[in-house]
Amino acid sequence: MTRTLIPLAAVLALLGPVAAGCGSEPSTTATTGGDQQLSARDKGVKFAECIRAHGVGDFPDPNADNDFEYGVSVTPAVFTKAVTACKDLQPAGALSTKRSRAQQAAGLKFAECIRDNGVKDFPDPVDGEPLVNTYRIPSSNRPGGMTILNAAMQACRGVAGLDG
């Protein structure tokens, strides 16, 4: 079964802080043993390199905002194994799926909008799980399914305040 990457830039806003260096770590530097200091960007790049080395070859370096914009392209088992192997390098808040109440409410509105825009099997979000997971959307693996899902995601950007 082949999966296509989903442009998740719009959806990542619902996932809470995904930026490398978010959370309790300083956003400018992080220590990695000894006295060596790494910038948040450098730490994110090292994490991405590790993920790629552990079977997720298309995992990107963080963008200019130190966010990881990544859609599903491997099985959940492969991705979980890679993240587990690279856990010590993972920037605080990166790949977080925990949402606040407001973010969860926005996620529910987003899911309803997606269903109203042609993806009838789009599930309600479960806190602690990704907002968009094509493995939970059977129609996304049918011919034209990803096109419909991507169009629905574009149409629903403003529903949950994703337009900026």
- For residue range 83-94, list pLDDT tens digits in order: 899 988 988 767
**Can you give the pLDDT at residue 148?**
94
**Can you give the pLDDT at residue 18?**
29
Q: What share of the chain has pLDDT > 70, as a percent?
A: 71
CA 147: distance to chain centroid? 19
- Report the mean per-residue pLDDT for the chain: 74
**Can you give the pLDDT at residue 15?**
32
**Can you give the pLDDT at residue 34?**
46
What are the tokens at 101?
């109440």
